[in-house]
Amino acid sequence: MTAAPEGSGGFGARLTAAMERHGRLCVGLDPHPGMLTTWGLNDDASGLREFGHRVIAATAGRAGVIKPQVAFFERYGVSGMQALAEIQREAREAGLLVIADAKRGDIGSTMAAYAEAWLDPESEFAADALTVTPFLGFGSLAPAVEAAARHGAGLFVLALTSNPEGQQVQLAAREHVTVAEQIVRAVAQADTGREAGQEGLADIGLVVGATTASLAAEHGIDLTAGPMPILAPGYGAQGATAQSLRAGFGAAYPQVLVNASRSILAAGPAPKALAEAVERAAAELR
């Protein structure tokens, strides 16, 4: 069991407060083996823990959100997942919002089990939000939407990702409406328990690649259809800049939470250099 970061209300309210205080930077926690080696850490669970501890120390107070990539912990088996649980708990206790980047997607009781594993505050893997995939049909995510509402948590639904092959599915259209647009519309209608007149971001948001944001406008996809938070990976090492993000997202830019991973992690392992990299990225995105 872990305490939620400071702030109250649902995920959207907590994210709104975090972005107002710290800006729109989300730091990706991606401990792939090459990064561990570069940092002089063991390629095992102890290396994961030390890596996570250093990233959290550099991020807390400088950005409001951290995003562990679950796959880099799963590859170490039970010990890796134990390390992830500890890191997420440490991050939340440090006042950071945690987005578990697990990209879960299934149907019925299986989707419900995934949601409880990641969104229940009593779970060992308790996170503030979870990335999910809607390509079994958006309706398949209903158990996760319900769990998010019950636990005051959030979801980020894949909509328009940066990998080129994703466009084969996401930009496929029926009656001139793309799959991505259908997902955006569904997310806009799925906000959990939002009261009339409530301001700030919704609890259910989108994942739109930082390098593919312009495709939304090109294909008539309205990212401002609701107050949906938009998680945008791809800033820095993958080529997106602060300027291109503003241009690509246009009117939706105030909703965007920008993830940076390699461009920040490459500054480590020295704590001072890592903290300075977080500060630079946060300043560029303000």
61: left (phi over 0), alpha (psi -120 to 50) or beta: left
Structural element, H or E, at residue 244: helix 242-249
Give the ranges where 23-107 is alpha helix by DSSP (H): 33-38, 45-59, 71-74, 77-93
Backbone angles phi, psi at 87, to 5 degrees: -65, -45
Structure token pair of residue 83: 């390390």
Q: CB-based contacts of 152: which residues, under 8 Å, 6+ apart? A: 4, 9, 10, 11, 203
CA 7/CA 85 separation, integer angstroms: 22
Selecting among 32, 103, 150, 280, the annotated active-site residue is 103
Q: CB-based contacts of 238: which residues, under 8 Å, 6+ apart? A: 162, 210, 211, 262
Q: CB-based contacts of 139: which residues, under 8 Å, 6+ apart? A: none
Q: Is 272 a catalytic residue?
A: no
CB 258 within 8 A of CB 245: yes
Name the amino acid, one letter, at 146. Answer: E
Angle among Cα 256, 190, 217 to the nearest 5 degrees reads 45
* Alpha-carbon distance values, 70 to 21, 44, 245 (Å): 27, 15, 26
106: left (phi over 0), alpha (psi -120 to 50) or beta: beta
Report the candidate in 67, 33, 80, 88 with the shortest Cα–Cα distance to residue 233: 67
Active site residues: 103
